[in-house]
């Protein structure tokens, strides 16, 4: 489904170049469950942002479902993010003014889904993450684990091909982290492709495969 | 994304920042309220003047001595003939188009009764003035009818003059002195107020021949000519000019119609109202800069939100639309509040000055709403563009 070939991502800082990714080649098949591990600053988030079409590689190619993402227009990249990619972040990034349901509806709002259907699908997604009794709560009325489950519901509500999670448990206590991981495991068991960045070896061990990055390079594959 | 949903999203975001929203709404509201209030006053002035002049009757001609319009032809010998009582009689009697006419001669003299004295404007005229100017007599009657050359010693008082000289007492039949001349009071007018530059409550009427003798005048101030309700104003005007030209052997009078006066004043005051609106609009620009400021702050504060929306698949255009809508909602809401405030100010003003017909013209209401919306969109573009072009990766970094 996804193929990264000879990918570089270079930042120019002052006179020097910082290589956030060096010559990364990686394939991710449909239904995979991949953990990306590595020390801080090793390029994990950079990799995820490129996979999620939020960032562009400096060189190398990225194919998604057979299409070269480097070649397509901004409009098509936006479309790809909208329909094929779901994001989960370490700090949830829920809009505090919206309820759980409102947050889950957001991607559908920008995709032009009609109101009634938005509502129905949001409620379904919240049910799938076990928050049926919290749909009208705002983020400040939810625990961290619940917030992250809302964020996961939001990430999958468009039924994307690829779910990306950047340290989804990084801001949670152990119990909440386990809940979130169980949810991601279950989604993967249902066929959802998941790519997960984590520092936590325990979390990484749950994934079917893993890569370790260091200084922008993939140094180990499992 | 439908407009309704954009607006709902914008309102949600604005409710998240109440104080800031209230302040920028207030900025626009002040500007719009100023536009509304000032145009209402301008429009009020216009209506006041138009009403004033229209109350004369639209079928009225005003004849004044001397040629006002420049025709390139000087009157014969460069002199201007007097407008005499004989001229008046000719106009009143010899032109079939003329329903009736009244002469006006003016002066100022001291009026005395008992120990009291005051200076009053004096109008010399005839009985016909009652009909021509639609005067109402409060007590007694107006000047006696008959030959205008008959210089009687009757006087009719304006209501204020009567009150100041006689108090509660009836002035009818009493003898007053106007300068060295003695007059017998035959009537008092009903309150009438100002009209065409005269305060009808604060003057006195005497027979036209008498006033010309007192003030040693050879010419009338004006002749007021009334045509039938359905009369042809232009034909009447022509007939009057022709007759007087024949009598004076030169075209040396000016005849103005009600319409001409009203139209001129109407357009002058219309321009004045527009000017007031334009001045008030300056404050809208200030409010617009305020909105821009608020939106710029909102964009930098909501970097995470913008990054998130992009990650969720919002397009550049959609983010642009979200922020422009927000600015437009802000300013349009300000416009509505300002409309309410301006309207309330006008209502309060009319309470204090009930005779002043202040009223906000419909165009001003529509224009100020459109203007407030345009201000929001215009000043919202820069912040919205900044939001739309934010790099999502940078925007999402950190909490
Ligand atoms: N905008 C930028 N400009 C310059 N250098 C950057 C920029 N963004 C990232 N980098 C650099 O790229 C490298 C990889 O960063 P990245 O955020 O991918 O690391 P990470 O593995 O996600 O780290 P962490 O575990 O702390 O989140 C780092 O050395 C970082 O300093
Ligand atoms: Mg990172």
pLDDT in tens, B85-127: 999 999 999 998 899 999 999 999 999 998 899 999 999 999 9
pLDDT at B71: 47
Is B249 inside any structural domain?
A: no
Of A52, A110, A158, the CB nearest to B309: A110
Is B239 inside any structural domain?
A: no
Chain B CB contacts of A85 under 8 Å are 313
Residue finishing a domain among B231, B251, B276: B231
Distance from C-alpha of B350 to C-alpha of B40, rounded to nearest angstrom:
11
Specify the range with the lowest mean pLDDT, choosing from A155-159, A190-194, B47-51, B358-362.
B47-51
Distance from C-alpha of B381 to C-alpha of B295, rounded to nearest angstrom:
10
**Ligand having the closest approach to the CA of A44:** 1
Query: Does residue B399 register a pLDDT over 60?
Result: no
pLDDT at B185: 95
**What's the pLDDT band for B134 if we cut at 50, 70, 90?**
confident
Interface contact flag, A109 B396, Cβ < 8 Å: no
Is B17 inside any structural domain?
A: yes
Distance from the CA of A94 to the center of ligand 1, in angstroms?
Answer: 23
Query: Does residue B199 register a pLDDT over 80?
Result: yes
Of B5, B308, B398, the CB nearest to A109: B5
Interface contact flag, A112 B315, Cβ < 8 Å: no
Is B197 inside any structural domain?
A: yes
* A139 close to B305: Cβ distance less than 8 angstroms: no
Distance from the CA of A166 to the center of ligand 2, in angstroms?
Answer: 7
Interface contact flag, B396 A93, Cβ < 8 Å: yes
State the residue range of the domain holding B321: 3-52+263-397
Residue of B nearest to A160 (CA): B312
How much is the average pLDDT of A54-61? Answer: 93
Q: Is A18 in the pocket of ligand 1 (CB under 6 A)?
A: yes
Of B313, B392, B396, the CB nearest to A82: B313
Q: Does the CB of A110 have a partner CB in chain B at under 8 Å?
A: yes
Q: Give how far A201 is from chain B: nearest CA, Å.
A: 23
pLDDT at B255: 87
Interface contact flag, B316 A74, Cβ < 8 Å: yes
Q: What is the DSSP string of A94-158?
A: --TTS-HHHHHHHHHHHHT--HHHHHHHHHHHHHHTT-GGGTT--GGGS-HHHHHHHHHHHHHTT
% residues pLDDT > 70 (chain A): 100
Tell whether B104 and B193 lie within a shared domain: yes
User: pLDDT (tens digit, 9 = 90+) per residue, B141-173?
Assistant: 999 998 999 889 999 999 999 999 998 899 999
Distance from C-alpha of B172 to C-alpha of B157, rounded to nearest angstrom:
10
pLDDT at B77: 46
User: pLDDT (tens digit, 9 = 90+) per residue, A72-93?
Assistant: 999 999 999 999 999 999 999 9
Residue finishing a domain among B213, B231, B249: B231
**What's the pLDDT band for B35 if we cut at 50, 70, 90?**
confident
Interface contact flag, A81 B310, Cβ < 8 Å: yes
Domains of chain A listed by start with CATH number: 2-221 (3.40.50.300)
Give the CB-side neighbour count of residue B283, counting CA atoms within 13 A. 21
Chain A CB contacts of B311 under 8 Å are 52, 54, 81, 87, 93
Distance from the CA of A23 to the center of ligand 1, in angstroms?
Answer: 16
How many distinct structural domains can be found in chain B? 2
Tell whether B392 and B271 lie within a shared domain: yes
User: pLDDT (tens digit, 9 = 90+) per residue, A105-145?
Assistant: 999 999 999 999 999 999 999 999 999 999 999 999 999 99
Pseudo-torsion of CA A28, A29, A32, A34, nearest 10°? Answer: -10
Task: State the best of A97, A104, A152, A166 to mutate against chain B, taking most chain B CBs within 10 Å.
Answer: A97
Q: Is A221 left (phi over 0), alpha (psi -120 to 50) or beta?
A: beta
Tell whether B227 and B125 lie within a shared domain: yes
Interface contact flag, A110 B398, Cβ < 8 Å: no
More confident residue, B60 or A20: A20
% residues pLDDT > 90 (chain B): 46
pLDDT at B358: 84
Query: Does residue B72 register a pLDDT over 70?
Result: no
User: pLDDT (tens digit, 9 = 90+) per residue, A195-217?
Assistant: 999 998 989 999 999 999 999 99
Q: What is the mean pLDDT of chain A?
A: 94
Tell whether B279 and B368 lie within a shared domain: yes
pLDDT at A153: 97
Closest C-alpha to ligand 1, atom 11: A20
Distance from C-alpha of B5 to C-alpha of B11, rounded to nearest angstrom:
10
Q: Is A149 in the pocket of ligand 1 (CB under 6 A)?
A: no
Q: What is the mean pLDDT of chain B?
A: 87
Is B190 inside any structural domain?
A: yes
Residue of B nearest to A46 (CA): B393
């Amino acid at each position: 489904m996804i193929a990264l070939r000879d990918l570089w991502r270079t930042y120019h800082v002052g006179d020097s170049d910082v290589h956030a990714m060096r010559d990364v080649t990686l394939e991710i098949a449909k239904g995979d469950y991949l953990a990306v591990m590595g020390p801080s600053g090793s390029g994990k988030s950079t990799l995820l942002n490129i996979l999620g079409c939020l960032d562009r590689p400096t060189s190398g190619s990225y194919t998604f479902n057979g299409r070269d993402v480097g070649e397509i227009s901004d409009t098509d990249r936006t479309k790809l993010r909208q329909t094929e990619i779901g994001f989960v972040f370490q700090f949830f990034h829920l809009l505090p003014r919206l309820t759980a349901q409102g947050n889950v509806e957001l991607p559908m709002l920008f995709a032009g889904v009609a109101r009634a259907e938005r509502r129905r699908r949001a409620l379904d997604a919240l049910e799938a993450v076990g928050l049926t009794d919290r749909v009208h709560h705002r983020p400040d009325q939810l625990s961290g684990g619940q917030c992250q489950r809302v964020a996961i519901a939001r990430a999958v509500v468009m039924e994307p091909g690829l779910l990306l999670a950047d340290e989804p448990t990084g801001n949670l206590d152990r119990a909440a982290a386990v809940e979130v991981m169980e949810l991601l495991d279950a989604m993967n068991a249902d066929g959802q492709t998941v790519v997960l960045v984590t520092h936590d070896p325990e979390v990484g061990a749950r994934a079917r495969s893993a890569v370790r990055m260091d200084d922008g390079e993939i140094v180990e594959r499992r | 994304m439908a407009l309704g949903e954009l607006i709902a999203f914008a309102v949600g975001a604005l409710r998240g920042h109440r104080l800031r929203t209230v302040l920028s709404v207030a900025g626009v509201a002040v500007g719009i309220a100023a536009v509304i209030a000032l145009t209402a006053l301008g429009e009020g002035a216009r209506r006041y003047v138009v009403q004033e002049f229209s109350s004369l009757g639209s079928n009225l001609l005003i004849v004044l001595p001397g040629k006002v319009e420049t025709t390139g032809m000087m009157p014969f010998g460069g002199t201007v003939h007097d407008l005499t009582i004989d001229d008046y009689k000719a106009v009143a009697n010899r032109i079939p188009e003329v329903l009736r006419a009244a002469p006006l001669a003016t002066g100022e003299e001291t009026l005395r009764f008992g120990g009291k004295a005051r200076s009053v404007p004096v109008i010399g005229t005839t009985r016909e003035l009652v009909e021509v100017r639609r005067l109402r007599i409060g007590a007694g009657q107006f000047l006696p009818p008959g030959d205008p050359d008959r210089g009687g010693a009757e006087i009719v008082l304006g209501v204020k003059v009567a009150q100041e000289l006689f108090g509660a007492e009836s002035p009818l039949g009493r003898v007053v002195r106007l300068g060295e001349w003695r007059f017998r009071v035959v009537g008092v007018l009903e309150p009438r107020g100002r009209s065409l530059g005269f305060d009808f409550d604060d003057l006195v009427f005497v027979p036209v021949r008498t006033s010309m003798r007192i003030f040693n005048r050879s010419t009338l101030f004006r002749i007021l000519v009334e045509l039938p309700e359905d009369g042809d104003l232009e034909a009447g005007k022509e007939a009057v000019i022709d007759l007087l030209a024949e009598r004076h052997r030169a075209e040396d009078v000016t005849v103005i119609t009600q319409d001409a006066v009203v139209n001129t004043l109407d357009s002058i005051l219309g321009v004045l109202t527009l000017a007031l609106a334009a001045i008030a609009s300056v404050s809208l620009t200030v409010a617009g800069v305020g909105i821009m400021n608020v939106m710029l702050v909102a964009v930098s504060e909501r970097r995470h939100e913008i990054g998130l929306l992009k990650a969720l698949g919002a397009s550049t255009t959609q983010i642009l639309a979200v922020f422009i809508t927000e600015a437009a909602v802000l300013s349009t809401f300000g416009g509505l509040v300002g409309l309410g405030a301006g309207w309330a100010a006008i209502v309060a003003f009319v309470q204090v000055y009930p005779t002043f017909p202040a009223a906000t013209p419909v165009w001003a209401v529509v224009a100020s709403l459109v203007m407030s919306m345009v201000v929001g969109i215009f000043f919202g573009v820069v912040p919205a563009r900044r939001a739309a072009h934010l790099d999502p990766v940078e925007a999402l970094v950190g909490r």
